[in-house]
């Protein structure tokens, strides 16, 4: 049986999925690895940690194959934005600086001051600490000897590509998150690169997500058990691979993902840019298509904070009976009417990205009265998270995208009560899918397009990703939520200056 392998290089571990032509998961494996923080706000990993973990995971997969099974292609997905600087011998110069690293505040100011409006006109995004370009400038300003010997830079997943194939390149979706790509044209923004004083020679080749970029070498074959000569395709950033794996490959489809963070991902056939840069515009893995993305920093993290600090009863029950603490809490929240009798929660425990771009924002319970119980608090947290997602959906709709359907993934997709809440707040049908395997699944599908299992990325997704369930919005509840969402937005405006005055 011919099989497709998807590799997703995450921040805390690597996950592999093996699927057949119909999209059925045959096997999976994962390996965790540590994240280093040598200074406050820093986040680093050495690329060889990724490779060693990937070797172990692939060997588990190849070791479990039946006699007639064959892995015919490999697709790659991974964490975005991380800087992997390489010397002329293609060895890492230093640990990779990751997407969540915050050391580049000054470099972002330099970029914004130097480029101004040209930044949005060309790369379609503001300079944020997570992006790759500020990291390159940081290296140039703070580690000049390392910058001097840097011969290439790649993104995290592309280090796995190099170790598998010996080829240096990235794909268009990952390149769009560097702040160095002309998103509309899909090529490196040479004028931006020149103005920032970055060496053009370090830029990798940009491949299509479904393009074969190399073949497994004999050395990599011996280490992993993959057959020498197996094609490795371009793959994509974790967000676009997750979108392919959930069928977000047609305009009008949007995913709402509640994990630790909250992500709203909207496919668009035509390039749309928010002039206020509250949502991101990047290149999709689907050729000549784009996506809009809003990110809230503390979605599931807010619910986890409540569970860890105010949900000890549910935690104890889970230990004794195995009943999930989150499900217990959401069941109690269902006893409360929508709107929580005026109680509103702002989920800004770690600042906020979309729509406020405010690192000083903080969490708030507003409107507490003697009538409110712990059940009200639980529901207010869950509602506040969905209001945060609604902020992104509103922006995307106001840019002219007609949203027809929301595909719920992550924790918010597994919880029926939370799915109904999303449908009611968004006033859109919310569906679940036959699989929720994440970026590795999309990477495997992309690899299948590369070897002509499927004629296109759209065909790959449409033939394997199916709707499992659907919830329709309740118009009366939507009216209640709309009024509260308006007040939710006003609260941030009222409290913005106060957040900046907090001392801790």
Residue 44 CB partners (closer than 8 Å, separation 6+): 35, 36, 37, 38, 95, 96, 97, 98, 101
What is the Cα–Cα distance from 214 to 237, expressed in whole angstroms? Answer: 18
CA angle 408, 237, 65 (to 5 degrees): 85
Closest CA to 10 of 54, 56, 48: 54
pLDDT tens readout for residues 299-324: 999 999 999 999 999 999 999 999 99
Q: At what angle do helices 132-142 and 105-115 cross, to 10 degrees?
A: 110
Q: Are 385 and 302 in contact (CB under 8 A)?
A: yes
How distant, in Å, are the alpha carbons of 56, 59, 74, 151 from that of 29?
9, 9, 15, 34
What average pLDDT does the structure give for the chain? 95
Q: Is 264 strand, coil or helix?
A: strand
**Mean predicted confidence (pLDDT) in 203-212:** 97
What is the Cα–Cα distance from 242 to 240, expressed in whole angstroms? Answer: 5
What is the Cα–Cα distance from 390 to 355, expressed in whole angstroms? Answer: 10
pLDDT at 447: 98
pLDDT at 259: 84
Is the pLDDT at 41 greater than 90, yes or no? Answer: no
**Mean predicted confidence (pLDDT) in 449-473:** 96
pLDDT at 504: 64
**Mean predicted confidence (pLDDT) in 53-59:** 97
Closest CA to 486 of 379, 372, 344: 344
Look at the alpha carbons of 313, 477, 425, 245 in this order and tell me if their dihedral is positive or negative: positive
Distance in Å from the first CA to the final CA of the chain: 59
**Mean predicted confidence (pLDDT) in 465-470:** 94
Residue with the bigger pLDDT between 260 and 103: it is 103
Give me the catalytic one of 101, 158, 171, 238: 238
Look at the alpha carbons of 95, 96, 101, 107 in this order and tell me if their dihedral is positive or negative: positive
188 is written with which tokens?
A: 């490196």
Banded pLDDT at 297 (limits 50, 70, 90): confident
What is the Cα–Cα distance from 217 to 209, expressed in whole angstroms? Answer: 20
pLDDT tens readout for residues 336-395: 999 999 999 999 998 898 999 888 899 999 999 999 999 999 999 999 999 999 999 999
pLDDT at 130: 87
Express as a percent the part of the chain with pLDDT over 70. Answer: 100
Catalytic site residue 48?
A: no
Give the ranges where 408-473 is alpha helix by DSSP (H). 411-414, 416-426, 439-450, 457-464
What is the Cα–Cα distance from 7 to 11, expressed in whole angstroms? Answer: 13
**Residue 431: its H or E element:** strand 430-433
Q: Are 33 and 15 in contact (CB under 8 A)?
A: no
What is the Cα–Cα distance from 492 to 481, expressed in whole angstroms? Answer: 17
Closest CA to 197 of 180, 178, 173: 180
Q: Are 396 and 279 in contact (CB under 8 A)?
A: yes
What is the Cα–Cα distance from 458 to 20, expressed in whole angstroms? Answer: 17
Q: Is 168 strand, coil or helix?
A: coil
Q: Are 233 and 244 in contact (CB under 8 A)?
A: no
Is the pLDDT at 261 greater than 90, yes or no? Answer: no
């Amino acid at each position: 049986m011919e099989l497709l392998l998807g590799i997703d290089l995450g921040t805390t571990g690597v996950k592999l999925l093996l699927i057949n032509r119909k999209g059925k998961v045959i096997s999976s494996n994962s390996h965790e690895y540590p994240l280093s923080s040598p200074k406050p706000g820093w986040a680093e990993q050495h690329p060889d940690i990724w490779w060693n973990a990937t070797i172990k995971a692939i060997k588990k997969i190849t070791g479990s194959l039946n006699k007639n099974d064959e892995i015919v292609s490999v697709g790659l997905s991974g964490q975005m934005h991380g800087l992997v600087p390489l010397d002329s011998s293609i060895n890492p110069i230093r640990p990779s600086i990751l997407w969540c690293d915050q050391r580049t505040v000054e470099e972002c100011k330099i970029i914004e001051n130097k480029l101004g409006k040209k930044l949005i006109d060309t790369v379609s995004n503001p300079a944020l600490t997570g992006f790759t370009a500020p990291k390159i400038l940081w290296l140039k300003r703070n580690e000049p000897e390392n910058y001097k010997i840097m011969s290439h830079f790649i993104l995290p997943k592309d280090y796995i590509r190099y170790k598998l194939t010996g080829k240096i390149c990235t794909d268009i979706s990952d390149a769009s998150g560097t702040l160095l790509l002309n998103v509309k044209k899909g090529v490196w923004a040479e004028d931006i690169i020149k103005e920032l004083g970055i060496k053009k020679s370090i830029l990798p080749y940009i491949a299509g997500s479904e393009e074969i970029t190399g073949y497994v070498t004999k050395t990599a074959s011996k280490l992993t058990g993959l057959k020498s000569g197996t094609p490795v395709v371009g793959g994509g950033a974790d967000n676009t691979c997750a979108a392919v794996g959930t069928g977000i490959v047609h305009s009008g489809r949007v995913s709402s993902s509640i994990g630790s963070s909250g992500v709203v991902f909207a496919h668009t056939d035509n390039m749309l840019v928010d002039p206020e840069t509250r949502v991101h515009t990047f290149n999709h893995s689907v050729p000549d298509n784009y996506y809009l993305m809003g990110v809230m920093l503390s979605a599931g993290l807010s619910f986890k904070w409540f569970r860890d600090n105010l949900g000890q009863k549910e935690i104890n029950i889970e230990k004794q009976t195995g009943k999930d603490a989150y499900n217990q809490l959401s069941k109690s929240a269902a006893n409360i009417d929508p709107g929580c009798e005026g109680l509103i929660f702002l989920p800004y425990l770690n600042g906020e990205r979309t729509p406020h771009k405010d690192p000083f924002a903080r969490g708030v319970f507003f409107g507490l009265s003697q009538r409110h119980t712990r059940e009200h608090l639980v529901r207010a947290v869950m509602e506040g998270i969905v209001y945060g997602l609604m902020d992104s959906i509103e922006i995307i709709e106001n840019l002219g995208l007609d949203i027809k359907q929301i595909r719920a993934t992550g924790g918010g997709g597994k919880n029926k009560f939370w799915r109904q809440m999303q449908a009611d707040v968004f006033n859109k049908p919310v569906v679940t899918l036959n699989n929720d395997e994440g970026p590795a699944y999309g990477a495997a599908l992309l690899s299948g397009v590369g070897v002509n299992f499927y004629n296109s990325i759209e065909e790959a997704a449409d033939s394997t990703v199916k709707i499992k369930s659907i919830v329709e919005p309740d118009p009366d509840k939507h009216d209640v939520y709309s009024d509260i969402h308006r007040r939710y937005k006003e609260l941030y405006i009222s409290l913005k200056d106060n957040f900046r005055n907090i001392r801790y």
